[in-house]
Amino acid sequence: MERVFSGKSIRSQYFVQSEFASVLLANNLTGADDFLALKGGAVVRAVPGRTTRRIELKSPGGSRLITYLKCYECAPTVLCRWPGLTRRIINESLNEWRQIQNLRKFGLPTAEAIASGWRQVENGRIDGFIMTAEIRGARSGYDYWAANHSQSRHLIQQIADLARRFHQAGFIHKDFYLDHIFMAEGNGEVDLTLIDLQRVLGPGKFRERWLLKDFGSLLYSLEKAGVKRGGLLRLFKLYKGDHPLGAVERKFLRKALKRAAWLHGRKPKYGEPESK
């Protein structure tokens, strides 16, 4: 993904993907302050410290670009890998910008990033934002699954393939729920897209416990969607390559199911649905 470094000062910084530069300029979005001050649009998600809104931007030609703007107050930080550095602490909005680019390099489907940045407010506090383009025709995995039970066998196969490719590429999501896999119909197939990458780590090599957390979260959300134990076992077999499961694989599955059971008994941090 090509990006243009569009501005930096002592107290702010922002990035723009080049193909959207003219649209942002037409809407007077020329710095981090402009994005963070942007009002209007429908709120699609609001939790303490973070709000996501659906924003329509006017294009120079008169058409409209539908975007999603996620803004953070006192943006959380995440430990991640950057080129030339082993580790670096950055805020979640910039981490999502970075990981969208990383995943696309590996052929993994994500939303299209438009812009991202941060500003220092006071006492070293940082506010951050990321704007992404609408995934046309897509719905959350929960909503799509509820309306398309008849496709469950095919969807399990696609989800298993996506999870396998994601982990084999060296990434962990840390919020790997069905609501973070958007689904859209196209050309007789269902297109899957990973969203909400603000806490994603990688590429790298991670211990089994991180993969267990991801896979346990996925099993938990599929159970909530109504998938029975047989469907979960099929998902796991496909995730592992659809070969006979050995002792190591069976042990991993037991641990993942235990993780899923624990999630069922936990009170969601921000209320239902937990995964958004």
Report the C-alpha gap between 53 and 158 in whole angstroms: 29
Q: Return the pLDDT at 128.
A: 94
Q: Any residues with CB less than 8 A from the CB of 223 and at least 6 apart, and which? A: 232, 260, 264
pLDDT tens across 149-194, in order? 888 999 999 999 999 999 999 999 999 999 999 999 877 789 999 9
Domain 139-264: CATH class, spelled out: alpha beta
DSSP assignment, residue 116?
E
DSSP 25-53: HHTT--SHHHHHT---SEEEEEETTEEEE
Q: Return the pLDDT at 269.
A: 67
User: Within a 10 A sphere around the Cβ of 212, how many other Cβ atoms?
Assistant: 16
Low-confidence ranges of the chain (pLDDT < 50): 1-5, 84-86, 271-276
Q: Return the pLDDT at 81.
A: 59
Q: Return the pLDDT at 274.
A: 41
pTM for this model (two decimals): 0.89
